[in-house]
């Protein structure tokens, strides 16, 4: 087992121990952290994810983004390519469950990742250098491999307890610009 695999296993276990009450509180807290940060999300094109398995909650964030006049896009998995495509969502009625139970958008209003202003990403853990460990399938890394040539900003959403010393980044790993947790906003240079 590699260091990254051990890290993933350790932090998935840690995250699985979070109770429903703490998950709700952390979702509210991360919104407060966002509002007090220098990230301004009014009238932007923003991608978010639908949280699962004790990831930082996103339902309230998505509602807020829509209410503040942003165009909101959610990823849809292309499993045979292990990539994501992004489609516009105007309400939760625009979603249906995929084969593994994740809510995904219907296929309308497609946008390329470099056309987005911000992309919120989940993580298993993150480090202070802007790297994240995901579920290990590489969907975000493959889908965002050309992002460094654009103005798109990448934002990790996490519980503060998911912070680690190093995510052991590899050449293909995408570095984020920010991480928002229930405690603070991190900006990565």
Q: What is the distance between the alpha carbons of residues 55 and 23, in angstroms, rounded to a whole number?
A: 8
pLDDT in tens, 33-86: 999 999 988 899 999 999 998 999 999 999 999 999 999 999 998 878 888 989
pLDDT in tens, 128-160: 999 999 987 878 888 888 787 779 999 999 999
Buried b or exposed e, range 102-119, using 16+ CB within 10 angstroms: bbbbeeeeeeebeebbbb
Q: What is the distance between the alpha carbons of residues 164 and 4, in angstroms, rounded to a whole number?
A: 11
Q: With beta carbons less than 8 A apart as the criterion, state whether 180 and 139 touch.
A: no
């Amino acid at each position: 087992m590699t260091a990254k695999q051990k890290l993933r296993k350790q932090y998935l276990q840690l995250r699985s121990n979070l109770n429903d009450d703490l998950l709700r509180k952390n979702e509210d807290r991360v919104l407060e952290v966002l509002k007090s940060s220098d990230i301004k999300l009014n009238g932007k094109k923003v991608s978010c994810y639908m949280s699962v398995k004790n990831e930082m909650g996103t339902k309230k964030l998505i509602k807020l983004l829509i209410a503040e006049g942003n165009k909101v896009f959610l990823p849809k998995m292309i499993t045979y390519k292990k990539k994501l495509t992004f489609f516009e969502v105007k309400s939760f009625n625009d979603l249906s469950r995929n084969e593994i139970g994740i809510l995904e958008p219907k296929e309308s209003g497609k946008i390329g990742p470099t056309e987005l202003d911000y992309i919120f990403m989940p993580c298993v853990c993150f480090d202070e250098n802007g790297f994240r460990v995901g579920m290990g399938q590489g969907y975000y890394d493959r889908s965002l491999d050309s992002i460094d040539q654009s103005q798109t900003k990448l934002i990790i959403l996490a519980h503060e307890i998911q912070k680690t010393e190093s995510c052991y980044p590899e050449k293909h790993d995408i570095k984020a610009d920010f991480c928002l947790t229930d405690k603070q906003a991190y900006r990565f240079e």
